[in-house]
Amino acid sequence: MRKYWGVVLALVLICSCKETKEPENQVDLAQVPVEEPIPTRFGFDFDAFQVVQDTVRNGDSFGELMLKNHVDYDKVLKISENYKDTFDVRMIKVGKPYFILNTKDSIPKAQVFIYQNDKINYTVVDLRDSAHAYKSKRKVKYVEREIGGTIKNSLSLDMDSLGVDYLVTINLSEIYAWSVDFFKLDKGDKFKVIYDERFINDSIYAGVGPIKAAYFKHRDKEIYAFPFVTDSVQNLKGFYDQDAKNLRSTFLKAPIKFGYRLSSRYNLKRRIAYYGYKVRPHRGTDYAAPVGTPIIATANGTVTESTRRGGNGKYVKIRHNSMYSTQYLHMRAQNVKKGDLVRQGDVIGWVGMTGNTSGPHVCYRFWKNGAQVDPLREDLPRSEPIADSLRTTYFETIEPLKFQLDCIEYANPETLQEDIQLNQKQDVITQNQPDENQSMAEAEPTL
């Protein structure tokens, strides 16, 4: 104990000495001239060049842009042939912003070409001396955000009412795609999410990062979700719950990604007026969606049929193992052929109206041991849980995240909407008044 207090006393004395000791050869900083830093963008002093700012238009090519700005053909050829991995000149896209930094001569000559791949990443083609190209990134600030909400309408509408990027809604729905039926959410279900928002220059919104942790309460069942790497060599990563169980099931809940309507369920006693109210069993589950909506395989397997037949219209059938098969009817077109191996989530076709159908949808049929069953009532097999050797590490990793989730309060969308509208007004003011060293291309970056 004495030793401990001795160390503390010594540290106090050291700190006190640093505060009271007069520096030798003290200089009056007020008399020293301060050089203003040169403002740079993308690592260049734009004031030193004649700047051309534009977006790629139909018919534009890298070669033509460079030749118009008096770049020697051999330099264009060198970039095109020697830097394909860094900058494939054939892949520049219409609508992408770019800058050309020219000399301030009577005949301006391009020195640097800057191509903005997206809000964060950009490619520089330096044409001075020996031409070369490299990729870089703008400085990004990550701001962690916590969201808590209650289902009143739908996940999409309720997340939007909280001012959440739609991509977060998509990511959350994909994490819980195997354990929550988003077509049958109940009012009062609750959710919480922790994720990062990205900003350029502290103020320009640049999208979201992956979800760090999540919580969903559906019909009084609480399901936490935490990302965890189970194999660092192969970088295998998945989401697991509070008991280290894999949230990923062998089968997805639906053959269409989040956002579409469950229009008709599996019903062996269905009666239809058109047929005189006679029993017409419906052995499929219908998901209504616009024509052209991608249809995805709900599990890994082999395509056993990809054809057109009678009332089924164009369809695909997949054998997943000796027990399970699935079928997808009324497609506009198929994207696979018999014998193809498909993975869960692969696009196998598109929603259409072929065969007997009164509207665009996919009829999803599910076989178990050769008999058609209701997939929404099946206790589907789950993927492997975390290995016993990793469980201790997993629980230690998620402990602070679970505590953080538990502390998040559920927001009131009505009072929050006023804050969102105020922030939107401030964003408009900021975007319309860029500073002297910031162009409108940076104030309003284009994806």
Task: Give CA torsion, residues 338, 341, 343, 348, to 10 deg.
Answer: -20
Write down the residue that tokens 């009332």 correspond to: 311
143 or 1: which leads in pLDDT: 143
Helix then strand then coil, in percent of the chain rounded to 5, is: 25, 35, 40
Contact of 231 with 153, CB cutoff 8 Å: no
Write down the residue that tokens 């942790």 correspond to: 213
Asked which of 85-89, 348-352, 376-380 is least confident by mean pLDDT, the reply is 376-380
Asked which of 8-17, 130-139, 316-325, 339-348 is least confident by mean pLDDT, the reply is 8-17
pLDDT of the residue at 419? 53
Per the DSSP assignment, residues forming a β-bridge with 112 are 101, 126
Model confidence at 65, pLDDT cuts 50, 70, 90, reads very high
The predicted model gives 358-385 an average pLDDT of 84
| Residues contacting residue 257 through CB under 8 Å, at least 6 positions apart | 170, 173, 174, 294, 296
Q: Which letter, b or e, does each residue of 52-76 get, where b requires 16 or more Cβ atoms within 10 Å of its Cβ?
A: beeebeeebebeebbeebebeeebb
pLDDT of the residue at 10? 45
pLDDT of the residue at 33? 52
384 or 314: which leads in pLDDT: 314
Q: Nearest Cα to 236, choosing from 342, 345, 386? A: 386
The predicted model gives 317-336 an average pLDDT of 92
The predicted model gives 363-386 an average pLDDT of 83
Residue 114 three-state SS:
strand
436 or 79: which leads in pLDDT: 79
Contact of 368 with 361, CB cutoff 8 Å: no
pLDDT of the residue at 273? 53
- In the numeric block, which tokens belong to residue 174? 């994909």
pLDDT of residue 441 exceeding 90, the answer is no
Q: Using one digit for the tens of pLDDT, what is the confidence trace for 147-172?
A: 999 999 989 899 999 999 999 998 99
Per the DSSP assignment, residues forming a β-bridge with 216 are 191, 223
All structural domains of the chain? 46-137 (3.10.450.350), 141-249+405-429 (3.10.450.350), 261-377 (2.70.70.10)
| Helix or strand run (H / E) with residue 67 | helix 62-68
Model confidence at 176, pLDDT cuts 50, 70, 90, reads confident
Q: How far apart are CA 337 and CA 340, in angstroms?
A: 6
pLDDT of residue 380 exceeding 90, the answer is no
- In the numeric block, which tokens belong to residue 107? 């005949």
pLDDT of residue 434 exceeding 50, the answer is no
The predicted model gives 384-399 an average pLDDT of 91
pLDDT of residue 27 exceeding 80, the answer is no
pLDDT of residue 16 exceeding 70, the answer is no
| Helix or strand run (H / E) with residue 18 | helix 2-20
Q: How far apart are CA 357 and CA 433, in angstroms?
A: 54
pLDDT of residue 17 exceeding 50, the answer is no
Residue type, 135: K
pLDDT of residue 14 exceeding 80, the answer is no
DSSP code, position 76 = H
pLDDT of the residue at 8? 43
Give all strands of the β-sheet with 221-231 in edge-to-edge order.
140-150, 190-200, 204-218, 221-231, 236-240
Model confidence at 233, pLDDT cuts 50, 70, 90, reads confident
- In the numeric block, which tokens belong to residue 351? 């929603």
Q: Using one digit for the tens of pLDDT, what is the confidence trace for 134-149?
A: 999 888 899 999 999 9
Q: How far apart are CA 141 and CA 116, in angstroms?
A: 18
249 or 108: which leads in pLDDT: 108
Residue type, 313: G
The predicted model gives 330-343 an average pLDDT of 92
Q: Nearest Cα to 366, choosing from 290, 314, 299, 269? A: 299
pLDDT of the residue at 436? 35
- In the numeric block, which tokens belong to residue 357? 């159908």
pLDDT of the residue at 236? 76
Q: What is the mean pLDDT of the chain?
A: 81
Q: Nearest Cα to 239, choosing from 347, 68, 386, 101? A: 386
Q: Using one digit for the tens of pLDDT, what is the confidence trace for 297-323?
A: 998 888 999 999 998 999 999 998 878
Model confidence at 375, pLDDT cuts 50, 70, 90, reads confident
pLDDT of residue 123 exceeding 60, the answer is yes
- Length of the chain equals 447
Q: What is the largest CA-CA distance in the chain?
A: 104
pLDDT of residue 2 exceeding 70, the answer is no
Q: How far is CA 336 from the centre of its chain?
A: 26
